[in-house]
Amino acid sequence: MAQANRSIEIGTGLFVLLGFAALGFLTTQLPGSGLQLTRASQSYAVVADFDDIGGLKVGAPVTMAGVRVGQVNAISYDSSVYKARVSLSIDRQYDHIPDDSDAAIQTSGLLGANYIALSPGGSDTFLHGGSQLQFTQSAIVLESLINKLFANFSGSKDSSGSKDNPGGKDASGNTDKPSGKTSK
Amino acid sequence: MSGVSQRRSMALDALAKLGSVALFLLRVLGQCIPVLARPRLVIAQIYNAGARSLVIIMLCGLFVGMVLGLQGYQLLERFGSESALGVVAALGLIKELGPVLTALLFAGRAGTSLCSEIGLMGATDQLAAMEMMAVDPVRHVVAPRFLGGFIAMPLLAAIFNCVGIYGAQLVGVTMMGIQPGTFWSQVQGAVGLRDVNEGFIKSLVFGAACSLLAVYEGYHAEPTAAGVGLATTRTVVTSAVLVLLLDYVLTAAFL
């Protein structure tokens, strides 16, 4: 009887331990804001200043030639130079990155998430913990690009159209048609 | 005319059932604190409801995660964003599938055994014998089982989530070739403590609902073989409906 009780207690203890381990994993390891135990020692930190980071988020990948070499660790605003300061943590195994490499914020796919692409420079000295990337390229914000495009389009159309079309249409008495459309 | 009165009596029956479940809940809750003074009773029930459901929960979690991995990959591949597979799997599991599927499995695995055990105790007059000895059966039989289920369910859901995410990772990373770093950093970027909380609260509520229905049906089962069988069936059906209904309410509340 005592033996049976003991095995029940051991089984329950095992189950509760497993359950709390699972809860602990869900609450600390999965959320980006939680404490991560694993990756601190295996990477080194590099900073880069950008004029505009677009939609870049903490945790976004850092790639070289398309291969993931690290991730964005922190993003802050440096008010002394009016730029966004991005801290990258790069895996320790990639320690041969020239220190004049170029960092560009790019988008994966048309609507995908932002990431940082490093393209190597030609320097003989390599990036190490605490060094800063000098050459950066801001994110291309698709919306502003489209806005510019439309502004250009409509601007050129209006300027060319205002000379030709209204005069011709007014003269031929076509003004009824547009008004009829709007009333419908 | 008789149809109207029949409908009215059916509505009254439903109302009476609801009231009796609520009163029973109060009665059980009142006995929960005194039961904690005898933790051995509760531990035995956590073992029954939790530890012995572990294998089925883990097995189902693994396969649900793997299916999510396959389906999610196929769908996301169309949009060229298969790296977001981890997000789909983790959020889907943590917020919805984990609590709901665990609750349904829990109702089938633990709820039925709770219900038939108590029902059979009633059918063999054990509960009546306890009352004769001035031992409250609600305190000694019902409350420990309710508490055991209530404690076991969130833990089971958490285990289901972890195993499920592992299953999705197995398919996504090992079979489909997503970068493991990408998979996990996407998950860590998208999952917030809020999402984990939502799933946890859901699993608490579902655990309480399933356990309560199981002990209620068992305690009020007709003391015959057919009555116990009927009560067990009712437990599973009502639990499943209630879990899905509560899931909608809770999801709406958390939006």
Please give, rounded to a whole number of angstroms, the shortest distance from the CA of A145 to a CA of chain B. 22
Residues of B within 8 A of A112 (CB-CB) are: 80-81
Q: Which of A38, A37, A25, A20 is nearest to B196 (CA)?
A: A25
**Is residue A125 in a domain?**
yes
Please give, rounded to a whole number of angstroms, the shortest distance from the CA of A152 to a CA of chain B. 30
Report the mean per-residue pLDDT for chain A: 76
Q: Which of A11, A31, A60 sits opposite B196 (nearest CB)?
A: A31
Residues of B within 8 A of A22 (CB-CB) are: 155, 158-159, 161-162
The angle that helices B112-123 and B193-219 make with each other, rounded to 10 degrees, is 20
Q: Which of residues 38-57 of B touch A (CB under 8 A)?
A: 40, 43-44, 46-47, 50-52, 54
State the pLDDT at residue B241: 94
pLDDT tens for each residue of B24-33: 888 888 888 8
Chain A contact for B159, CB < 8 A?
A: yes
Does the structure show a pLDDT above 80 at B189? no
Please give, rounded to a whole number of angstroms, the shortest distance from the CA of A38 to a CA of chain B. 12
**Is residue A120 in a domain?**
yes
Tokens coding A38: 């694993």
For A54, the domain range is 43-142
Does the structure show a pLDDT above 80 at A177? no
Tell me whether residues A26 and B192 touch, CB distance under 8 A.
no
Tell me whether residues A59 and B189 touch, CB distance under 8 A.
yes
- The DSSP output letter for A98 is B
ipTM value for the complex:
0.72
Does the structure show a pLDDT above 50 at B190? yes
The domain total for chain A is: 1
Please give, rounded to a whole number of angstroms, the shortest distance from the CA of A174 to a CA of chain B. 46
Which residue would you say has higher pLDDT here, A168 or B129?
B129
**Is residue A108 in a domain?**
yes
**Is residue A63 in a domain?**
yes
Q: Which of A90-94, B41-45, B224-228, B232-236 has the lowest mean pLDDT?
A: A90-94
Tokens coding A18: 């497993």
Q: B122, B218 in Cβ contact below 8 A?
A: yes
Residues of A within 8 A of B182 (CB-CB) are: 61, 68
Ramachandran angles phi, psi of B190, nearest 5°: -100, -30
**Is residue A31 in a domain?**
no
Chain B contact for A57, CB < 8 A?
A: yes
**Is residue A153 in a domain?**
no
Does the structure show a pLDDT above 80 at A85? yes
Chain B contact for A42, CB < 8 A?
A: no
Q: B98, B82 in Cβ contact below 8 A?
A: no
State the pLDDT at residue A166: 47
State the pLDDT at residue A32: 61
Strands A114-119 and A61-64: parallel
Percent over 70 (pLDDT), chain B: 99
**Is residue A180 in a domain?**
no
pLDDT tens for each residue of B146-161: 999 999 999 999 999 9
Residues of A within 8 A of B51 (CB-CB) are: 11-12, 14-15
Report the mean per-residue pLDDT for chain B: 88
Residues of B within 8 A of A36 (CB-CB) are: 188
Ramachandran angles phi, psi of A89, nearest 5°: -110, 120
Chain B contact for A28, CB < 8 A?
A: no
Q: Which of A22-31, B9-18, B106-115 has the lowest mean pLDDT?
A: A22-31
